[in-house]
């Protein structure tokens, strides 16, 4: 049921696109920079690390930090999940009550760089960051340039429906299959992060479905 709804797709605000192109043909073509929205205090027992990663998902980096610091995975926090097939910059928090000092640069590698280190009094909680800044390169672009410019001007004026993207639903929407098993068949999921991910996929599908209906009705723009 959930997968079928996902496969139906969602309504577009400005009709069928007149241009075609390819995104994410390489990681550098999709860049995300997390905007924390506040300055860490420089004090406290939570070590905040600003990390740039390429081709790595957020949870794998969190596990790597936990192993390096010798702390449980639950003591590593982050505000939001970032794309894997991309170059992303985001904050991580490591709870270190004794304010242990680590040479965090030792974990640097080709796909991971620690850019900044500081301290903060509070744990870095989910959804606390202010926004994300994107830089997207479209390769193999084709279409009428005049029409494309006109559409971009409309988007600039009105914005776009902020649907959750395909990555939220897993490869081929398989997260929704697991979500349906969890919600309707009462199947158990032992790993907490997987259970959270499946439930998040279901909530995201609900959000997309409501937004799609508003797009269809022409009421999606808040005036």
**C-alpha to C-alpha distance for 160 and 133, rounded to whole angstroms:** 15
Contact indicator for 83, 32 with CB cutoff of 8 Å: yes
| DSSP output for 86-108 | SEEEEEEEEE-TT-----GGGG-
Please state the domain extents for the chain. Answer: 1-19+162-223, 27-132
Integer Cα distance of 181 and 175 in angstroms: 10
Two tokens, residue 25: 């043909």
Name which of 185, 177, 197 is nearest 80 in CA terms: 197
Over residues 117-143, the pLDDT tens digits come to 999 999 999 999 999 999 999 999 998
Q: Poorest-confidence range of 28-37, 89-98, 140-149? A: 140-149
CA distances from 91 to 18, 43, 47, 66, 161 (A): 38, 16, 10, 14, 27
**Residue 205: Cβ within 10 Å count:** 22
CATH architecture assignment, domain 27-132 = 2-Layer Sandwich (3.30)
Residue 167's pLDDT band, with cuts at 50, 70 and 90, is confident
The catalytic residues are: 83
| pTM greater than 0.85 | no
């Amino acid at each position: 049921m959930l997968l079928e709804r996902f496969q139906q797709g969602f309504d577009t605000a400005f009709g069928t696109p007149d241009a075609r192109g390819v995104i994410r043909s390489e990681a550098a073509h999709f860049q995300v920079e997390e905007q924390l929205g506040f300055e860490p205090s420089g004090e406290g027992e939570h070590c905040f690390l600003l990390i740039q990663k390429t081709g790595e998902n957020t949870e794998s980096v969190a596990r790597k930090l936990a192993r390096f610091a010798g702390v449980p995975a639950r003591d590593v926090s982050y505000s939001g999940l970032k794309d894997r097939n991309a170059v992303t910059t985001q904050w991580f928090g490591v709870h270190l009550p004794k304010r242990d000092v680590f040479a965090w640069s030792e974990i640097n590698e080709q796909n991971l760089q620690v850019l900044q280190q500081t301290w903060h009094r509070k744990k870095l909680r989910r959804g606390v960051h202010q926004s994300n800044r994107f830089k997207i390169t479209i390769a193999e672009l084709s279409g009428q340039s005049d029409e494309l410019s006109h559409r971009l001007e409309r988007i600039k004026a009105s914005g776009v429906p902020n649907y959750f993207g395909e990555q939220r639903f897993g490869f081929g929407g398989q997260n929704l299959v697991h979500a349906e098993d969890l919600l309707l068949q009462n199947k158990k999921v032992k790993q907490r992060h997987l259970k959270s991910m499946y439930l998040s996929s279901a909530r995201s599908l609900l959000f997309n479905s409501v937004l799609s209906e508003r797009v269809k009705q022409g009421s999606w723009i808040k005036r």
